[in-house]
Chain A
């Protein structure tokens, strides 16, 4: 079964890779716009169908393993990116959002994981899906902010406006995920905040983005620094999501569900 998952992820990744190429063409030739939309939607349909199939086949929300969260992340990057691009009336999000989706699907292709239908008792909670999905959505939007900032840095465009708008969308989602996690922890373990390593990284991530927003007015006067800071801030998200599993503190963490 994991073989079928691999091929579906490859198909979605190829759609988005081609859509990203078409988006680059569309900068000069607007006639390519429909191609971007069709390929982007096709990739989204394949990846979304895969997610729905996994949910049914595994008989649990597919949010437990790192591979499953990466699939969500890829889908949410493209879906949220498309929604924000429409809301902000910009085409500048297209390439970063599609490449982010391709990157995370490529990680799944390189590190295929076996399907596991078990779910530990602590994750059997109505808070599980909203907490993790909101978190992944915030990571997707903050990833887009970093992608846009890096893209502008590379192209030597001193405009941090769009990247900051995305941070203003991602931080509230991060805060909601944090609050939902605290309420769930109280229900499951009796404490809403225990300074567990994962929780502390979540706090550090939140602090970094809160500081970024509070420094926005000063940073707007120094756009290249702003772009560099927004790009670099995403490394803290990656620490909280993946890299915390490789730190000495993980030995005392109760957030160890994603290890296989």
Chain B
């Protein structure tokens, strides 16, 4: 970033930021939200065009040099860091500590200081880009790198204004639905009716847990199954009998073929000297049976951990076709992406409902185009770095 500002843009930014911060403290209820389309684009581009025009038409003007300078870049980025730090350290919004609300940063993203910092970053990028488009070395690399970042920020800001996010719950076999509830409580109509045909939860086999007399807990390293063995806390544990799906009607598990049932294992525990310390059934607590554990002579206890989820998927019918939605594989349909978020965790594999979120983000192509340019720019920089010593 070249240029040392003639006018003190960083000082002006500091003053404006302080003023905005003061106003936010005096009026803590003020919350800035971007409007919906098309005003979101107009609001996002509004600070860009004048700065870009100024930089391109008057690159040597004192204001242009100052707003597009490296020092203003540093000042605007520091401003962004200062107003966004609460998000890094504390829960914000309704869960934010009271003192954070008192200093105007209870909800930083909708605050006046955040808007000032974001506008400063965008103005600096646009002005420096405009200046460099007209003159200076490394123009193409500079334009790709900084233009990409600017485009991603504009797209992100505009997308925030026009974003549609709506959650809905579907139950297996229920009539197809096309309504969802947005974050602000309004009803959203989905592009096609959706029906949940089947919800599938795949789980890992369970592992051992050793609770020691001092309260610490050790986890085994083996995914258990028939004939498996593991070493935990200096003890050798061997599976004698295995029930992949069990219920616990009394003190001993019985086979129980139900999706909600957990496995059960009869184990033998041997210490380092070869002494058998205990033998008994282990079963994690679940919808069809309580926990069975083994008490050890030293006061410790041996447990079977509840199986952890490996993968969950929803088989849905949408627009006359069958689809599968998994965590990293949403369903894309008519500009919407449908994500699976969760399921009935108490029921586990027997869950017949799943929680989804529909997202429509028309600004996404701009964000991705910006990120692509940014990636090209940084790869270019990685290959042929321009250090201060090599700059004009």
Contact = CB atoms under 8 A, between A and B. Distances in A.
Given A179-B374, A188-B327, A200 B74 contact: no
A193 B183 CA distance: 17
Contacts of B109: 195
A114 B233 CA distance: 11
Interface in A152-172: 161, 164-165, 168-169, 171-172
Interface residues of B, number: 56
Contacts of B357: 190
B328 A203 contact: no
A173 interface: yes
B265 interface: no
Interface of B: 1, 70-71, 73-74, 77-78, 80-81, 84-85, 87-91, 95, 109, 156, 165, 204, 207, 218-221, 223, 308-312, 326-330, 337, 339, 357, 359, 364, 367-368, 371, 374-375, 378-379, 381-382, 385, 387-389, 391
A110 interface: no
Contacts of A207: 77-78, 80-81
Nearest to A184: B328
Contacts of A203: 84
A175 B337 contact: no
A42 B106 CA distance: 53
Interface in A21-54: none
9 contacts: A2-B221, A116-B207, A172-B381, A188-B339, A190-B359, A210-B77, A214-B77, A249-B90, A260-B219
Contacts of A201: 88
Contact-residue bracket for chain A: 35 or more
Contacts of A252: 91, 95
Given A210-B77, A249-B90, A164 B388 contact: yes
Nearest to A189: B339
- Which 9 A-B residue pairs are closest in the complex by CB-CB distance? A172-B378, A216-B388, A200-B88, A168-B385, A217-B388, A172-B382, A125-B328, A190-B359, A200-B87
B127 to A, nearest CB: 14
B147 to A, nearest CB: 14
Given A179-B375, A195-B109, A120 B308 contact: yes
A47 B89 CA distance: 35
B115 to A, nearest CB: 15
Given A165-B387, A179-B374, A179-B375, A215 B70 contact: yes
Given A121-B310, A187-B330, A248-B89, A214 B95 contact: no
Contacts of B382: 169, 172-173
Contacts of B330: 187, 190
B328 A188 contact: yes
B88 A197 contact: yes
Interface of A: 1-2, 114-122, 124-125, 127, 161, 164-165, 168-169, 171-173, 175-176, 179, 182-184, 186-193, 195, 197, 200-201, 203-204, 207-208, 210-211, 214-217, 220, 244, 247-249, 251-252, 260
A207 B84 CA distance: 11
A259 B130 CA distance: 46
A119 to B, nearest CB: 8
B84 A204 contact: yes
Contacts of A119: 310
A227 B374 CA distance: 28
Contacts of A216: 387-388
Interface centre among B70, B78, B88 (most CB of A within 10 A): B88
Nearest to B338: A190
Contacts of A208: 81
A188 B340 CA distance: 9
Given A118-B310, A211-B78, A220 B90 contact: no
Given A114-B221, A125-B328, A190-B357, A169 B374 contact: no
Nearest to B329: A187
Nearest to A192: B367
B328 A187 contact: yes
B385 A190 contact: no
